[in-house]
Amino acid sequence: MKVDFEKVNGIIEKYRDDREAIIALLQDISAEIRYLPEEVIRHVSDEIEVPVSRLYSLATFYTSFRLEPRGEHEVQICMGTACHVRGAPRMLENVTQKLNIKPGETTGDGKFTVETVNCVGACALGPLLVLDGKYYGKLTQRKIEKLLGGSDDEVEQSC
């Protein structure tokens, strides 16, 4: 993936005068390009005169930052207790088999990243899948097929 440094520089300019906003700066860059590649971290380091080690320290401490590319669509499967007892492990298996990846991985075409989360706070809807920030509860294999097949308009959003 080629990085648009013009966009990165625009974000840097937004925070240039605020030395306390390094996390916000990294969050905005991460939101724009979906991860923090090494060349971007080094560029930010040069531009704002903060050691690369400090930026890496922040990027690896906070779980919201990724150092590897994320998929165009992010799939999170809730594995909290309520979802677990209602079949979340089986739903996770369905998702990973359909996409041919393991949790934490991104498909080869860059379309999907799948991860598990401990709880999303919608226990009554379990098992639950979050696709690009939208919650889909009471999962079934059929719902998963529709969601990952690109027809989420046919699947009722739960929240």
pLDDT digits over 48-84, tens only? 999 999 999 999 998 889 898 888 999 999 999 999 9
Q: Which residues contact 8 (CB under 8 A, 6 or more apart)?
A: 29, 32, 33, 40, 43, 44
Residue 134 has what pLDDT? Answer: 94
Residue 144, both tokens:
């998963």
Question: If you count them, how many residues does the chain have?
Answer: 159
Residue 151 amino acid letter: S
Delimit the CATH 3.40.30.10 region(s) of the chain.
Answer: 73-154
- Decide if pLDDT at 127 tops 80: yes
- Decide if pLDDT at 24 tops 80: yes
Neighbour tally for 13: CB within 10 Å:
10
Confidence of residue 17 (pLDDT cuts 50, 70, 90): confident
Query: 73-154 in CATH: which number?
Result: 3.40.30.10
Residue 39 amino acid letter: E
